[in-house]
Structure 1
């Protein structure tokens, strides 16, 4: 009798994880799907998805690039036109840097080319950075197209409109740290969304431009 009572009072221990996890997973997936379905991407007017206004910074950067381009171009011209082939003292007592004849063709031409490439390189990188930095991201009326507005070296805006199927976000908005790259089909480099900017419609962005799309090669 005592054994039967002990058996009847013993708590029943069971493992709820298997069924509970499956049920919980289904509930979460159902909620996520429902959340995505609740976002109406068929907008009735143009909607700004993202904006990052920092005109002063890009003006300063482009002015700096122009100054560097002018300096290195002048140095390149000076090296090619002003350096003269002059004899040097090649004795053992002379310092090694005094033995270099900068007017010699190989040194003069090398300085000319290197200075020219540095100047154009700085200018090109700065211009490409400006042209790939997104200022506005606008979802057009109907929700099928998006307009990308970027900065330009001249200080004006550069914009173009394309279908959403031609835009792929390479990373999640919630996991990006400093920059969020966006790939545009047919363009070689990525467009950059600075995370210091403002996502004015996060849910709409995540369900339109923020999707990762795989294109067939």
Structure 2
């Protein structure tokens, strides 16, 4: 599509100080075509990366394992499979109270860059158990 931009030289006789900036440039010149292509590539790649990271951090299931010492995070992946991560419960910190969270509940796992997000529209099978295990705010 970028290659179909035609060379349309600007008529300098009709350009004055009130003419908008986009009427003063020729988008068919190679420098503008290449710049538009590079910007489109960067914006597309950046958007894909952000969407991918959001998908990896969205919690599908949060399971308290037998014995109560570990949590299992089951998250989505971009291609529809599940990603499973077993974490010691002392390495999980809830950043907001479950009753105060409106849309998402952020959970921080120690030594990870981002927060895992639990959707508040989901179902909490045992809210008291969640509040006393994964829902605690811990200091590291």
C-alpha distance in 2 between matches for 1:134 and 1:154: 15
- Any idea what the Cα deviations from partners look like across 1:76-96, whole Å, max 9, x if unmatched? xx32x4446553322226965
Gaps of 5+ in 1: 1-77
Corresponding pairs, count: 137
1:52-201 matched pairs, under 5 angstroms: 78-79=1-2, 81-83=3-5, 85=7, 87-92=9-14, 97-201=22-126
Q: Structure 1 171/98 Cα, relative in aligned 2: closer, same or farther at 3 Å?
A: closer
C-alpha distance in 1 between matches for 2:123 and 2:46: 31
Which structure would you say has the larger RCO, counting Cα contacts within 8 Å and 6 or more residues apart? 1
Gaps of 5+ in 2: none
Larger Rg, first or second structure (1 or 2)? 1
C-alpha distance in 2 between matches for 1:85 and 1:166: 60
Alpha-carbon shift at residue 159 of structure 1 (Å): 1.0
- Any idea what the Cα deviations from partners look like across 1:2-45, whole Å, max 9, x if unmatched? xxxxxxxxxxxxxxxxxxxxxxxxxxxxxxxxxxxxxxxxxxxx
Task: Give the TM-score taking structure 2 as reference length.
Answer: 0.87
C-alpha distance in 2 between matches for 1:162 and 1:93: 65
C-alpha distance in 2 between matches for 1:125 and 1:174: 28
Alpha-carbon shift at residue 117 of structure 1 (Å): 1.8
Task: Give the TM-score taking structure 1 as reference length.
Answer: 0.58
Alpha-carbon shift at residue 205 of structure 1 (Å): 0.8
The two structures, once aligned, show a CA RMSD in angstroms of: 2.0
Contact 2:7-2:27 at 8 Å conserved across structures: yes
